[in-house]
Structure 1
Amino acid sequence: MKNTSKLALLALLAFTTFSCSSDSDKSGEEVIGGDTGKTKYIITATTGAQGIADYLLTTDDISTGSITTTGNGIEQDGSYRYYITAQNNFFSLLYGQGNPGAVTTYNLNTEGKLVKKSNFQAETVHVFAAINKDILTIKVPRSGAASIASMYKIDAEKSLIIGEAQQDTKKLAGNGERAFFTWATQVGDKVFMPYMSIKGDGLDNFGTVNPDSTWVAVYNYPELKLEKVIKDNRTSYLGAYYTNGLYQDENGDAYGFSSAAATSNAVVTSTKPSAVVKIKKGTTEFDKTYFFNVQEKSGGYKIASSSYISKGKVLLEMYGTPGTNKGAVKLAVVDVYTQSFTWVTNAPAVISFSTVNRYNIVSQDGNSAVVGINTPEGNWIYTINGSTGVATKGIKVEGGEITAIAKLKY
């Protein structure tokens, strides 16, 4: 099943230096990739060894064959790593347990070799998203007296912090609790930040007395000035701790995904269904005429995480036990335009962990999600068709569990 405790740890950001292997840039010089029209896939895999986070593996083809961490890839240090691509650069983020660290940027040189481009210092954060030509990161306090969330803008081309802003999360929530941003999404020329309302009392940090409400804070960009909060009460908060739950489609509309899994003292207290809501292009209100009850369409299952494919198609991880946020996950595809629900076929029967959410990519034809799936029998990259829901097994990853897949051009 999906390791929810692991996802809970995937929360803070810092970056560190690397111990390099055969794929590293031995000279230490910056090497800028060209534009040959070619692409390479980056697969990250963790061996579970103490002090070692992941290996960065590169390949031209993910449809067949195998790849291994043994004697291969760029070895990284640390415990947990998280990734984002922006402006054709690959950023490696280390879970720093609250401590600042080095932001490490990679790209491909003209030969298609993954090389280290730069390092710089950054705060540990909980949210990171590509906005315009930047990466927006947010450090969000969740307990104690501190209530100020710090937002940092990183120039994704130059790998430099170029600005910051702050938000009082207690003032933003305005209900005696505090706001905790689940993610950030560019919608038009603004940044939409869904948030949870949490107690933050140290004993039940992520518990809430407001389980059946939805909030999205709207900020202008690049100033990051709060404009308003969009509210609804037909489902619960969007996304989850360290989990994106809001996507803009090709038409400019935004769709939000709720697990309806808010808790109090570790007990689910949400009474509303797990569902999809909509914000029409150019508006800052929920569309009251739209409500996709995924829990009903699925036969009682709740959304665990989601990943937008294209043209209204979205890949979902569903909790395996109906009506709860527990159970070995199952995969499904939905069409938010027609409100159709399809269970994925040909996927592994037991999924230990998958890269659904931030860590997968869209296929070359734009109609499928390319996802890493770890199972008790082995770990593979799968391509899941957004129209049919059929999964196709691709390259096998040996010597480690898949944690992410990305793609760069050179």
Structure 2
Amino acid sequence: MKNCFRNSIILAAMAVGVLTSCEDDLAAEQETPNAPYVLSLGVTANGNTTYYVVSTDNLMEGTINAVGKGIEQNGYHDYQKGGNSIFCIGGMGVTSATAVVRGADGLLKEQGEFVFDNSLSGFCQVDANTMVGLEVPTNKESGSQLTFYTVDANTAAILAKNTDTAVDPIDRLDWPSITGMMYSGGNLYVTYTPMNSMTFETAYTDTCFVAVYSFPDMQFVKLMKDTRVGPGGSWGAFNGLMKDENDNLYVMSNSAISNGYSQSTKHAGFLRINKGGTEFDADYFFDFEELTGGLKPAHVAYVGNGLVFAEVSTLNPQTANDRWGDKSLKCCIIDLVNQTVTDVEGIPVHNGNGGRRFAYLTEGNNVYLPVSTSDGVYIYRTDVTTARAERGARVSTTFVGGFFQL
């Protein structure tokens, strides 16, 4: 990882054909100090992706690019904010994580690094100063113990490492693919999909599983099960759990073939776990698929007051040919309390980023979402109170891997 150089950016742009255009200011070589918005631009050329973490002070006008500025990161990365840091989490062979923070000069810089044995399977915030990471062995043959990391949210330093908790019982049907992790009321909650680690088949889609572990000692508490929906979340998207203002958790289940499932045997829907609880709320069930006539949410973001901003697949039904497609998505506002769904006006039906984490930003009543359109990637701003969107700045990138305010 290093600061990116203008020449390498321009070469990558020429190779990809998406990073620059005649509208780009190729003379711009400086970040604006204290620019509040941070994006990770994923630029793919010749099958390889390089990430450029950049900042901007305007999401609705002009073009956002990485020309001569930002932080360059090679290899696969996911991004998650904790405290005043943006954690850059390696995956698919990259076994390290760093924190991007705001320097004294107002510019972005990398601070701290921790290395793990395998790619992190889960990462969540416990409090303003503490993050927890979860590492699961690649398969049954490679290990039988989970590894929990307690991480300083400000320095990215490992504070504690716990290897005392067995993978069992979450591996009894098939190997667990972690789809979400959240802290609430003294417990860590983990959603997962039983998935064959060799073929990636999902033969067990009749039950939602949530494993509960105590914090800070990381001991197994309970395996929660509910047959009203299938497994929570989907592979690689880390979308199984959302938390509201009262620390209640909502589990999203889609069993969507276009998000990696090999079959779908239960309706997409939402369950609730009350703060710190070890039982699903028996009085709450939102059958999303029944309400929408067969549609499935692909990516979800809790934005406050019971509302969720979501990308929803318009493929109905989803077939085997759609597997891993993450395509033909529309945007919706989902009301978890009143159990309603409202289409967003102004955002075209579009393809996702291959099922990875949802890159969005919430600011007040607005949600900003980078959308890949026929004429490039643009940021759309949606007012969740009206479900109306308008198009803003163009982003010179193949896709946006992370989107934050810092």
TM-score, normalised via structure 1 length: 0.81
The answer on whether the counterparts of 1:236 and 1:261 sit within 8 Å (CA) in structure 2 is no
Cα RMSD over matched residues?
Answer: 2.6
Counterpart contact for 2:187–2:276, Cα < 8 Å = no
Give how far 1:312 is off. Answer: 0.7
Alignment partner of 1:292 is 2:286: yes
Q: Are 1:54 and 2:51 an aligned pair?
A: yes
The C-alpha deviation readout for 1:264-311, integer Å capped at 9, x for no partner, is x9741x322100111123422111221111112222111212111111
The alpha carbon displacement at 1:354 in A equals 8.7
Task: Decide whether aligned partners of structure 1 residues 173 and 352 sit closer, same or farther in structure 2, where only a CA change above 3 A counts.
Answer: closer
- Structure 1 segment 166-315 matched on structure 2, within 5 A: 166=163, 167-169=165-167, 171-173=168-170, 175-200=172-197, 202=198, 204-208=199-203, 210-242=204-236, 243-261=238-256, 267-268=262-263, 270-315=264-309
- How far apart are the structure 1 equivalents of 2:122 and 2:201? 16
| 1:227-284, Cα deviation, whole Å (9 max, x unpaired) | 1122100000111122222112112321111003479x9741x322100111123422
Residues 374 and 380 in structure 1, CA contact (< 8 A), matched pair in contact too: yes
Alpha-carbon deviations, 1:172-214, whole Å to 9, x = none?
Answer: 13744333321211122221111222344x2x34422x21101
* Cα deviation code 1:56-106 (max 9, x no counterpart): 12111212222222333222222x221122120122223352x534x3222
- Counterpart among 369, 373, 377 of residue 375 in structure 1: 373
Within the alignment, does 1:94 sit opposite 2:97 as a pair?
no
**Of 106, 112, 127, the match for 1:112:** 106
Query: What is the aligned-residue identity percentage?
Result: 25
- Cα 1:352–1:255 change in 2 (3 A) is closer
The 8 Å contact of residues 40 and 407 in structure 1, kept in 2 or not, is answered as: yes
Query: Which position in structure 1 is the counterpart of 2:2?
Result: 18
Q: Which residue of 2 aligns with 1:149?
A: 146
Q: Does 1:393 align with 2:377?
A: no
Contact 2:147 2:162 in 1 (8 A): yes
Runs of 4+ deviating beyond 6 Å: none
Q: TM-score, normalised by structure 2?
A: 0.82
Whether contact under 8 Å (2:148, 2:162) holds in the other structure is yes
CA contact (8 A) 1:306 1:357 kept: no
Task: Name the structure 2 match of 1:68.
Answer: 65
Q: Is the 8 A contact 1:18 1:77 kept in 2?
A: no
Range that drifts further, 84-93 or 229-238: 84-93
CA–CA distance in structure 2, aligned partners of residues 148 and 186 of structure 1: 21
Q: C-alpha separation between the residues in 2 aligned to 1:18 and 1:206?
A: 38
Residue ranges of structure 1 left out of the alignment (5+ in a row): 1-16, 23-37
Specify which structure has the bigger relative contact order, considering alpha-carbon pairs within 8 angstroms and separated by 6 or more residues: 1
Q: Report the AA paired with residue 233 of structure 2.
A: G
